[in-house]
Amino acid sequence: MSANDIAVSVIVPTLNEEAVIARCLSGLTGQSMPGEAFEVILVDNGSRDRTVEIALEFQDRLRIRVLRREGVPVSALRNLGAAEARGRFVAFLDADCVAPPDWLDQAMEPLSQPGCGVIGAHYTIPPDSSWLARAWYGGMRAERRGRVAYVPAGTMLASRELFFKVGGFDESIRTSEDCEFCQRASAAGFSVEGIPSLSVVHLGTPQSMAAFYRKQSWQGTDVHTVFLRDMRRSAHAKATLFALYTLCSLAAVAVGVPAALLWGNAAAAVWIAILALGGPLLMAARSAMRRKRWGLLAPLALLYAVYGLARGLCLLGLVSRRRAQPQAVGTVAQEPKAA
């Protein structure tokens, strides 16, 4: 089969992923789609471990190429992979994700339909996940179906033509590039659809409170930037407003409660505390009601409080860095010119 017969190009960005890359690529070797019908493009950001070495061990089982580009945001890695892709469709898969055997075959039916836009799914959590992962992430795959605001770039698919028509991922932001891309796709008239059967297992799902805080803090880095670009269409409106609410609540508790107690008004101090806790409780109640699992109310309230704190501090520029991240270097992708 020639390069022109490749249906899908699977693009996997990496940076020091030796602990997970073999499981990711093994999931691709097990695809029900014939191996000659798709290619894998691994784009490495300067790994110092055995990531690339392990990936090259799959050359006898996958049609795989390894590209290297150091010191750029993950969006630039994905854009480079798309520029080098030979498939009609591009599928973005994160290195810490494992695709089910029918992932590509399941995607081909909607992708082949006239007018198909961007498709994907929210993640499936590992089967041995902690209470935290089950409470926060456990219902996303089933809940977010049909027309959605965005699908994560860890399992996102579209035609290569659409990808470049929209402009690819924005390389000037470090996070939220998937949401921003979907926002532009929607503005351009393309649909964004969540299809639960396209979900992949996310090995990097946070399992502890510390990991959850770090992830929310890092992911919130550019949320307000994306929100301010198009506030009417932004999927980040709720997150940004909740972050502002959390900051105001913290300020009210820090200033209002001591002041009320100083003036001997204990009732006012109690009401201030209740108002500060009200936001996480209301958000938790909404989620528990939607999932019909009221036993999740208490853990979700705690997690919403931590989420709000992480996202609120992001607005002040206090971001937790999970790993050294490069600075932004560009804008958006451009389709390569024909030779």
Tokens 């107690």 found at: 261
Residues with Cβ within 8 Å of residue 193, at least 6 apart in sequence: 110, 117, 118, 119, 120, 146, 147, 148, 151
Task: Please tell me whether residue 91 adopts helix, strand or coil conformation.
Answer: strand
Together in a domain, 25 and 135: yes
Q: Is residue 181 part of a domain?
A: yes
Together in a domain, 235 and 214: yes
In eight-state DSSP terms, residue 13 is E
Q: Is residue 112 part of a domain?
A: yes
In eight-state DSSP terms, residue 170 is -
Together in a domain, 40 and 166: yes
Q: Is residue 335 part of a domain?
A: no
Together in a domain, 135 and 42: yes
Q: Is residue 330 part of a domain?
A: no
Together in a domain, 154 and 183: yes
Q: Tell me what pLDDT residue 253 has.
A: 79
Report the alpha-carbon distance of residue 25 to residue 200 in Å, rounded: 13
**How does pLDDT run across 275-295, given as a tens digit for each residue?**
778 889 999 999 999 888 999
Q: How far is CA 297 from the centre of its chain?
A: 24
Together in a domain, 202 and 224: no
Please give the model's pTM, rounded to 2 decimal places.
0.87
Together in a domain, 253 and 178: no
In eight-state DSSP terms, residue 337 is P
Together in a domain, 122 and 256: no
Together in a domain, 159 and 278: no
Look up the domain containing 145 and give its range: 7-206
Of the three residues 156, 171, 206, the one that is the final residue of a domain is: 206
Together in a domain, 69 and 192: yes
Q: Is residue 338 part of a domain?
A: no
Q: Tell me what pLDDT residue 332 has.
A: 45
Q: Which residues of the chain have pLDDT under 70?
A: 1-4, 224, 227-236, 318, 320-339
Q: Length of the chain, please?
A: 339
CATH of the domain at 30: 3.90.550.10
Together in a domain, 38 and 146: yes
Q: Is residue 166 part of a domain?
A: yes
**How does pLDDT run across 164-179, given as a tens digit for each residue?**
999 999 999 888 899 9
In the chain, the amino acid numbered 301 is A
Q: How far is CA 263 from the centre of its chain?
A: 47
Together in a domain, 201 and 315: no
